[in-house]
Structure 1
Amino acid sequence: MLPNSNNRDKTPVEFSIVFVEASLLIEYSLALDLGLFFQPPKSIKIVKEVLKVNDTLVYSRTDMLEIGNVNSLAGLLIDKFDNNTSWIFDLAKKNMIGNELFLTNGFKAMFSPKLVGIMQSWFSDKFNINYKINLASLSSITTARARRIEEIVDSLNLLNNHIRFEATSNNEMRLFSIIKDVTIFAEEIESEGTLKFITLINMVLDAVDNGSTLVIDEFDTSLDIASLLSVVTVFHNDEINTKGAQLFFCTHNPIFFNHNLLRRDEIKFVDRDDKTKSSILYSLSDFESSEVRKDPNYMTDYLMDKYGALRDVDLTAAFIK
């Protein structure tokens, strides 16, 4: 957001995503005119909206609407859809609304509610973004899930005691610690790291069971590194991750820069330009193979600032001044 604060002209905000669901490669992109930064827009305008399925254009919408090859959506179109019925295309073009998505309005109503349903279900059920690992998310888990989490935690031998979930009078799950046959609210005795790791186990189970995409910010905050490394290996294990779940996480810890853990194309850097305040995203695989060490980790070169995205912070000099 910060780079946009100096803009004097209205610049569209762009969003794009590519994902696979129901054996379909779906590409959706969107550009919105939200007005000037920090100024409430008089109205939101959709500048551009594009949908592709299996590398085939379905529609492209700007001020005009271009309908692509909808025949490529065989089995997903509304019943008795006739591609030669030109009046449907004319009606769709005439009824576009500048501040409403064509995807969830005209396209859904006149072309393919099935495809829109697939996309909406993926966003709501399989695209899990977490800015904070919160224990409260465990309150709605099932009894079967609670037992699985208990078994996993006990098998890891991370605690000197046992944990157990019990349902409250409101039918919500509450986490307890059991110490010498005494049951105590877990949040009153367990460390923040332990509580976060138990919550993380539930999130990983969700992802693996459903083949969903799990996105976590500040992945390693208050959490044991060895445990986190094992989480990453779960997603790489084809015997466990049979549905193709994905993990994206942000971290400041270079301990993850290990070729036994992550491929070069899986390691991304975010580097901020001090002048424009814009961030640049690039991959370790963007560097020539001769520039990247073959030894077990890339951490040494990263700490020597060979790959960028490393801030030069000298707190001592700041205090002396």
Structure 2
Amino acid sequence: MIIQFNFSNYKTFKDKVTLNMVASNYDKDTNEYDNVINNDKLSLRLLKSSVIYGPNAGGKSKFIDAITFFQQFILKSSKDSQEGEKINVQPFRLNSRSAKDVSEFEMTFIIDKTIYRYGFEVNQEIVTAEWLYYRPAKKEIELFYRTGQSIEFDKKRLDKVSLILDFDILRKNSLMLSVLAQFNSDKAIIILNYFRTMNCISGLVERGYRGSSITKVKEDENKRKQIIDLLRSADLGIEDLRYVNLIETFDNKTQKSIADIQDKVNDIDPHMFASIATKHQVYDDDNNPDGFVEFSMSEEESNGTQKYFYLAGLILDALEQGMILIVDELDSKLHPNLVAKIVSLFNSKITNPKNAQLIFNTHDTNLLSSGIFRRDQIWFISKDRYGASKLYSLADFKTDTVRKKEPFEENYIRGKYGATPFLNEFNYITEQILNNNGKTG
């Protein structure tokens, strides 16, 4: 579970921003039973979901990019790059100082009832700093702290660091944590496995995660039924799903060519030549059931139905395994009621017994009036006149400014909380167009 994520000097964000998943005491009487994870051992109350609002080009997607970069750099820095290769990090470029400065990332999280705090500083050339702490009891313990290529570490708990230093294999552009995992350090492996189960996805492009649902339909009968139940609950008219192997419809020569390509290309999509058939009820002229008909998911179902189906596999994984799902533009192609349904699956003790977390951004203001969020689950991103984005929560406002029961959607739309487009210039230009309509030069 994520406790907190903060970063600075990355893309549209100049100063440090923090997403805090710790539940506020002020909102204790609002959706406390379902929306909050109570960890008595660690004396923590954590939120099961958070939603982020903001104008176009305000920084919502760039915030998701920051989490994605943090995760992917941890997983790949030691094996997907060579000495001297650039680090794919972009600082805030609208300030002359920050454009040359390092970018910093840090996350505090829980694995197996133990709190970890891990972070690093990087520029496009090297890792300038890196640190790892953990808290097995009440006291936080430093496991290692890296400054450039110099490392101080706990020799008892991280003995593998000595081997890495002796062999001088830590590259300037890779993370110590990633290298430690390659040396079978128990704690490093635990942390990397944690980040492997974190899914950061785009709600605009399903291509990156469509395989999750397709695999379940093909290989797991129980999961297939669960996905069908999710589709039925969304009232999409789908009664059943069937995996279709398109390769079997090709001639022998084509099948052999495809097999040869699959053998040679390691990262080819295993479902490139797969399709999902959806089963719908057919009715006669008297509206009585009269058999079924199959449609192609990719060719005949709506974009919204396709997205919900492809998301379903990741949603089930998160809920059943207590994983973290982070989605950019969750509402894209989906009806507001369906988005609310997805959020409610996470904000529920019944459907989310393993305490999975959902973090997403959206333009769907209907969620603000749905009653499914507390104040501390609602976040905004806005950009100042100098191009720098900032992140803040509805819970950050004074209690006499924002009350628990006020109409959040209405107040947000009229600009009370900020993070909305400033349209005066747009209105002026529109007025000029209307005034000049029909005039000739």
Moved over 4 A (4+): 68-71, 89-96, 107-110, 169-173
Please say if 1:127 is aligned against 2:198. Answer: yes
Q: How does 1:125-164 map to 2 (within 5 A)?
A: 126-132=197-203, 134=206, 136-137=210-211, 138-141=213-216, 142-144=219-221, 145-154=223-232, 156=233, 158-164=235-241
Please point out which of 301, 304, 312 is paired with 1:193: 304
1:242-271 deviation per Cα after TM superposition (whole angstroms, max 9, x unaligned): 211000010112222248311211111111
Q: How does 1:167-316 map to 2 (within 5 A)?
A: 167-168=244-245, 172=271, 174-179=275-280, 180=282, 181-258=292-369, 260-275=371-386, 277-295=387-405, 297-314=407-424, 315-316=426-427
Please say if 1:117 is aligned against 2:189. Answer: yes
Amino acid at match of 1:67: E
The alpha carbon displacement at 1:121 in A equals 1.1
**CA, structure 1 residues 56+89, in 2 after alignment: closer, same or farther (shift >3 Å)?**
farther
Instruction: State the TM-score, normalizing by the size of structure 1.
Output: 0.81
SS in 2 for 1:16: strand
**CA, structure 1 residues 279+207, in 2 after alignment: closer, same or farther (shift >3 Å)?**
same
User: Equivalent pairs: percent with the same residue?
Assistant: 23
Amino acid at match of 1:191: S
SS in 2 for 1:289: coil
Whether the 8 Å CA contact 1:259–1:298 is kept in 2: the answer is no
Query: How many residues of Structure 1 are paired with residues of Structure 2 in the alignment?
Result: 296
Q: CA RMSD in A?
A: 2.9
SS in 1 for 2:314: helix
Q: How does 1:54-73 map to 2 (within 5 A)?
A: 54=135, 55-63=140-148, 65-69=150-154, 71=156, 73=157
What corresponds to 1:47 in structure 2? 128
Distance 1:160 1:70 in 2: 60
1:43-96 deviation per Cα after TM superposition (whole angstroms, max 9, x unaligned): x2111101111132111111364535565x5xxx56xx9xxxxx9499469765
What corresponds to 1:100 in structure 2? 174
Q: Tell me: higher relative CO, structure 1 or 2? Use CA pairs within 8 A at least 6 residues apart.
A: 2
**CA, structure 1 residues 161+5, in 2 after alignment: closer, same or farther (shift >3 Å)?**
same
Distance 2:169 2:127 in 1: 14
The alpha carbon displacement at 1:220 in A equals 0.9
Whether the 8 Å CA contact 2:149–2:172 is kept in 1: the answer is no
Distance 2:201 2:162 in 1: 41
Whether the 8 Å CA contact 1:163–1:175 is kept in 2: the answer is no
What corresponds to 1:37 in structure 2? none
What corresponds to 1:29 in structure 2? 119
* Structure 1 unpaired stretches of 5+: 35-43, 82-86
1:95-114 deviation per Cα after TM superposition (whole angstroms, max 9, x unaligned): 65422322223x4477x611
Instruction: State the TM-score, normalizing by the size of structure 2.
Output: 0.60
**CA, structure 1 residues 316+239, in 2 after alignment: closer, same or farther (shift >3 Å)?**
same
Whether the 8 Å CA contact 2:244–2:277 is kept in 1: the answer is no
* Structure 2 unpaired stretches of 5+: 1-10, 15-91, 248-269, 283-291, 433-441
1:160-189 deviation per Cα after TM superposition (whole angstroms, max 9, x unaligned): 343413241668463222243222212222
Distance 1:287 1:191 in 2: 41
**CA, structure 1 residues 246+161, in 2 after alignment: closer, same or farther (shift >3 Å)?**
closer
What corresponds to 1:166 in structure 2? 243
The alpha carbon displacement at 1:311 in A equals 1.3
